Structure 1
Amino acid sequence: MKKLSIILILLQLSIFSQDRTTIYNTGSPPIIDEGHGISINQSMATRFTLSNDYVLEAIVFYMSLQSQEGNLIVSIREDNNGAPGELVSELSQWNHSLDPFNLSGYNLILTTDLCIYLNPSSPYWLRIDAADANTQALWSYSSGTLYTYSQNNNQEGWINNIGQTGASGVFAEQIYENPYQKGDVNFDFLVNITDIIAIISHIIENNLLDDEQLDYADLNSDGYINVTDIVQLINNIIQVQDENPNFTLTDINPASELYNLDIGPSYFNGQVSCYYFGKQG
């Protein structure tokens, strides 16, 4: 039975590990049946932070069921003055039933069919509550001892601690934004006469650009928008281009399973009927 549990864990890991980034992971617990109590009177949350924009892909946590059956409410919460706050979105809460025959304690929630965006502006909390009065479980202790977590007993409010949190992991896909070229003040991925007109309109105070547009209008990065930028933009537009540019079909997305491979139409011949750029939403 133990070998079967290990095989199932490896299979589940292989399913959601591709094209995903680990944004929070305590690793597996040293002991499954020792941990923080989860019941109708005991809730717990563990805090994690981000360094980039992400779309949530999966949640992993280790739980030891102490009652005959157990039902949990798992959620991702915003930070509220250092404590778990509101849901990130109406989609960021899940009902999860514990399997009494799951000796590994490993639980997986996939969120790839949802568009739950996480940004680095503030911390987040992975929170677990019991869904009913019959549920008694232990959120297995992490091996590390320097995690920030919060507990709520008898609805008396959240109390933060630093130590062994509940063993868990949060996985997501980083959002990559294609940067615009200098001079593309209308953000249409083209630098042309339309952008020249927009910048001139700003200079003569006919139609002012916003702060983000101003950054792209300042072609020489001198902090001013003036005729020098117009001249530079015109030169960029009319300069002679290589008549035979070299194109590449190489996948340059480091988060893709096809990274560094040639993925032109011949690669997918007979496999797809169209190309769609982007995964989420």
Structure 2
Amino acid sequence: MFLYIILLSSLLLSQSRSIIYNNGDPDGEAGHSIYWDGEQGNSASNKFTVTDDYVLEAFSIWASLSSSFGSLRVVLQNNNNDSPGEELGQWSITLDGLIPSREYFVLTTGECIFLDRNESYWLTVHADNENTEATWLFSPQSFYSYSTSQDYGNTWSTTLSGQAGAGTIAGEKIFYNDISPNTGDVNFDSVVNVLDAVSIVQYILDNVEYSNDQLLAADLNGDQTINVLDVVGVVSSILNGPEEMSQWLLEDLNPNSSFFGQMIGPETFSNEVSIYYFGKQG
């Protein structure tokens, strides 16, 4: 049964979108002594930094139990002046006295804990009660940031670099649908096609309303007006691809025109013409 749990937990972590922090499996029995006698003790905390926005999915720690029974209190905290700060979540882990040392997994998907890009956090391990004497086993390498506390987290040592408590932190990366202006993709299906052209025509005819994001996407020539030029741009994009999209100039280039040299467009002739012809000069 124990092997089944380990395999299942490992599978869950391996299927996570991203491993945010992993300092390796311990290669010995040494580690941070974790205990609390009601007045003093020892707790430890690992510092880690995320490079993207995540939702916390799971974490694991390697621990061994010295007392006959015991449990650990694991806390995720914000960074506060390079020390563990505001608590974001906490979990109790009952330690297994039958196995000297093992990895303990905790799933956190139901907690909805968000980790912000370029922010630092702390994973802290306390004794859950005065009967617990345990060890948070060291990482094999000695270049991780950590801190320790002798008063159950009221104060912390300066941040140290060395062998931190071994463990893994996994998160689901948050992907944003960045709205790029002037693309023509007004239904945001990541494809510019005839549906977008028809939709823009419907908007010009006042048959549909657009959100601000749709207005940005529909304005292909960037003139802050949605008109037939944008429809032509969408059609050009469909036929030629976005790299070959025409850049329409609103200047009248006909020397025989009374508007020669002026910046004109459909709004200049509103309600006066029903169709525009766009051709090459010369």
Query: How does the TM-score come out when normalised to structure 2?
Result: 0.65
2:12 counterpart SS class: helix
Name the residue aligned to 1:168.
167
Name the residue aligned to 2:90.
93
Conservation of the 8 A alpha-carbon contact between 1:65 and 1:98: yes
1:11 positional shift: 3.9
Conservation of the 8 A alpha-carbon contact between 2:24 and 2:139: yes
Change (3 A) 1:236 1:140: same
Change (3 A) 1:58 1:136: same
Aligned equivalents of 2:237, 2:215: Cα separation in 1: 26
Which of the numbers 21, 28, 35 marks the counterpart of 2:31?
35
Change (3 A) 1:241 1:214: closer
Name the residue aligned to 1:129.
126
1:10 positional shift: 3.5
Name the residue aligned to 1:157.
155
Aligned equivalents of 2:83, 2:219: Cα separation in 1: 42
**Cα deviations by residue, 1:110-139 (Å, 9 ceiling, x for unpaired):** 112332211213101111111211111110
Aligned identity (percent) is 35
1:105 counterpart SS class: strand
Aligned equivalents of 1:24, 1:102: Cα separation in 2: 25
Conservation of the 8 A alpha-carbon contact between 1:6 and 1:104: no
**Cα deviations by residue, 1:69-112 (Å, 9 ceiling, x for unpaired):** 11221121111010111123xxx211221111133321010112
1:35 positional shift: 0.7
Name the residue aligned to 2:178.
179
Conservation of the 8 A alpha-carbon contact between 2:35 and 2:132: yes
Change (3 A) 1:121 1:7: same
Change (3 A) 1:117 1:227: closer
1:240 positional shift: 7.6
Aligned equivalents of 2:15, 2:126: Cα separation in 1: 29
Number of positions where the alignment pairs a residue of Structure 1 with one of Structure 2: 218
2:6 counterpart SS class: helix
Q: How does 1:53-64 map to 2 (within 5 A)?
A: 53-64=53-64
Aligned equivalents of 1:127, 1:76: Cα separation in 2: 6
Structure 2: 5+ residue stretches without partners: 190-195, 205-211, 240-282
Name the residue aligned to 1:72.
72
Q: Which has the larger radius of gyration?
A: 2
Structure 1: 5+ residue stretches without partners: 198-208, 243-281
Conservation of the 8 A alpha-carbon contact between 1:5 and 1:104: no
Which of the numbers 110, 135, 141 marks the counterpart of 2:138?
141
Name the residue aligned to 2:18.
21
Change (3 A) 1:134 1:214: farther
Aligned equivalents of 1:51, 1:240: Cα separation in 2: 35
Change (3 A) 1:49 1:229: farther
1:113 counterpart SS class: helix
Aligned equivalents of 1:179, 1:133: Cα separation in 2: 51
Change (3 A) 1:213 1:142: farther
Conservation of the 8 A alpha-carbon contact between 2:187 and 2:214: no
